[in-house]
Amino acid sequence: MGTALLKKMVEGLFPRLCVGCGLAREGGGEHLCPLCQDYIELIAEPHCQTCGIPAEIDYEYPTEDFQCGLCQKATFHFDRVRSLGIYDSVLKRLIHFFKYRKQPGAIQEIKPLLKSHFQNDAQAYEGFHVVSVPLHFNKLKERGFDQSFVLAQAVAQVLNLPILVRPISRIRETPPQAKQSRAERAKNVCGAFQVMPPEGVAGKDVLLVDDVMTTGSTVNEVARVLKRAGTHCVHVFTLARA
């Protein structure tokens, strides 16, 4: 009996469920059915040219250098942020499956989304080095893999860029950010990261990769230590924007 036939028989007896809707998956990708693949809410222009957040309906149609109200008032250490989609519904469930169900293989479902996202923006990252936001050692030991590093590897492959393997360490374990205010989040991650050694990032342009961005406190703190170590430019990419 051929492998393909055996696989088809097994899936017939034990159908694989879609991560998005929970129903038996027919077609689509490794973890999402076709309907859920199409239901992911991707971020498109108009959006803030600094933090990448989608423009709200009460804004006039933005110009090329449009900035949201927060970015007009705040000073960030990163140079710009772009995110693939909204952290809701199918994309949120896929990220939870990838991150909390300890399923690094789900990156195969994410790669086609990355290719589509970067196909019109790849030139913006020419000459960049890819870096991931690191986990603390205790969290890495608990989870078994670093989801941001796996994502960064995929981004580096799609953009054909070199990846720097953990030039940043998370030297202080921080409580979860989920229920904290913007000010509390910034305080929580202050001093939590260290570049080792600084020469590894000095003078480079860096594409910093993380899974989800909410207020931007974490990526902003990492960008701060990168800039302090001599990094020239820090662009950020996250899979989702909350």
In a domain, 52, yes or no: no
pLDDT at position 176 over 90? no
Structural domain of 92: 71-241
Distance (Å) of CA 145 to CA 138, 142, 152, 163, 194: 11, 8, 13, 17, 20
- Strands ordered across the beta sheet of 80-86: 80-86, 233-241, 205-213, 128-132
Q: What is the pLDDT of residues 159-169, one digit of tens each?
A: 999 999 989 99
In a domain, 163, yes or no: yes
In a domain, 57, yes or no: no
**Which 8-state DSSP code applies to residue 95?**
H
Q: What is the pLDDT of residue 61?
A: 63
In a domain, 154, yes or no: yes
In a domain, 56, yes or no: no
Q: Say which CATH number the domain at 222 has.
A: 3.40.50
In a domain, 217, yes or no: yes
Number of domains in the chain: 1
Compute the average pLDDT of residues 55-61: 68
Q: What is the pLDDT of residues 75-115, one digit of tens each?
A: 999 999 999 999 999 999 999 999 999 999 999 999 999 99
Other Cβ atoms less than 10 A from the Cβ of 108: the count is 12
Look at the block and give the residue holding tokens 């893999």. 145
Q: Which of 14-18, 180-184, 236-240 has the lowest mean pLDDT?
A: 14-18
Is residue 234 within 8 A of residue 82, CB to CB? The reply is no
In a domain, 40, yes or no: no
Q: What is the pLDDT of residues 2-41, one digit of tens each?
A: 665 655 554 555 578 999 999 988 888 889 999 999 999 9
Q: What is the pLDDT of residues 111-137, one digit of tens each?
A: 999 999 999 899 999 999 999 999 999
In a domain, 36, yes or no: no
